[in-house]
Structure 1
């Protein structure tokens, strides 16, 4: 086990939305910061639905931007559709949502991280925490290296002992293409912290080449394009329309006949599922 004597003031574990904002905020405040991630090629990777904002999170993006964050500016540069939601309702429930070009967004965020003074990006899995006198004073990586810092920020997302279900198949993973983080979960338990589990789901993806768009309802974005950032407006990408379709009785019958293949109904996952954004099988069962 080696100890890196180069002192960092802050170590950020993870390089998703939260990790990027934490690392940038720390470095921009003049703190010498190290960002560690399992896969340095996936900084800023959007795991499933490549969207920013919405009813529950749109206001957070604006608040992050007001505090000098990066997400609002990045989505304006990388967004391919912007819409205002609930415009027929009161101001309290209105929100802005944008769909992103996920490859461009990832590249944009990685470039920002790599070019920010005072912020160092390294690829490593954190498997342990260094503790001194009851406080965290650094991390241990999967290579046995120990790195000291005055503060450690964990932004691990879906990676802590992540388990992915695809129908009747399941395998460990933080997201598709990335392994889960197991050592850090054990380290947190060893410190006496209680570990719980959260569930997230994503709908099946369709091959666009198999869709007859002429039979669908075209849904363009809003004009003028809504803003997420309070800063100067950047050049925008060419915008892309969404398309609306509907299920029918035949679709519902296929779903009912296949419920035994759903992890939520086979018992593979013990969860009630989300209340306000249920899966399609939940909709068919609960709202026949």
Structure 2
């Protein structure tokens, strides 16, 4: 009945709102069959009386908001200190931003967060980190820092934005990441600390702690793979107690730990040489062994993809000169100006046939450059 008062439905706001945290009026309209809705009471301070109502964002007028809040059991006498509101903001066309978050047409201007078309705290913070790093590198006259899709979630986020663009506020989801098995929470430091240290963002003391943890993981993985247990009665008895199949001959502790039902702790009785390790080290060791086959398969996929990423496209490429490209591909490639074949292949509207034509053009150009170089050497 009050939708006529909501800017989201009166036409006052015409932009597409966030898909994953919509207002209560949008939820009512999108899910009319639902009979209930959870509201989370989140205290804003440890001792204060102000509570944020999670799940009840709205653009409705204040008097209507008061009615909604008072309809929640337990909030009949609540007072609204700061009413909800809706805003509509502009953002850059993400494909006009480079993979290191510098605006292509305004050299020296780096952007992050909502202005790039994203929504969310982590999304903004991670972009801010990359933009800040690259602003400093530019001032120093150094090469930009770019994280790939196989290196970090923020690498996927930025690549999606600058390659595909977005028509609604972009949120980072695990489902957007093709290498989820290797981009895990437990190995984030293993993937990124070396890079952070090289950039001067990780202090020496923390880096030494990281190197110790990495050595512990590597040493324990090697030890477990090299430690052989016999296929005798004692081993059979332990495996039976664990609830896993017996072994017919000697095997390594690493092979036993790769079984889903076998935990690191359960092998203590037949692992006399183990030393006490931190729980976070043991977690990584278990994951690496239990998912070893899947991880190898994913690393193989990454290697194949990386070959496309290493094929760089010259910055001066004129796509209008490439025979075999569709008109759409020419327009999209010119607009995005991809750095590599891998990025070009991810652009919406660029087909495998277009990539074949692009490869042929690049190879012909490479051959011509070598030929010209040879002619020059002979002069």
TM-score of the superposed pair, with normalisation by structure 2: 0.21
Q: When you count helix as a share of all residues, which structure comes out higher? A: 2
**Higher strand proportion (structure 1 or 2):** 1
Normalising to structure 1: TM-score of the pair?
0.25
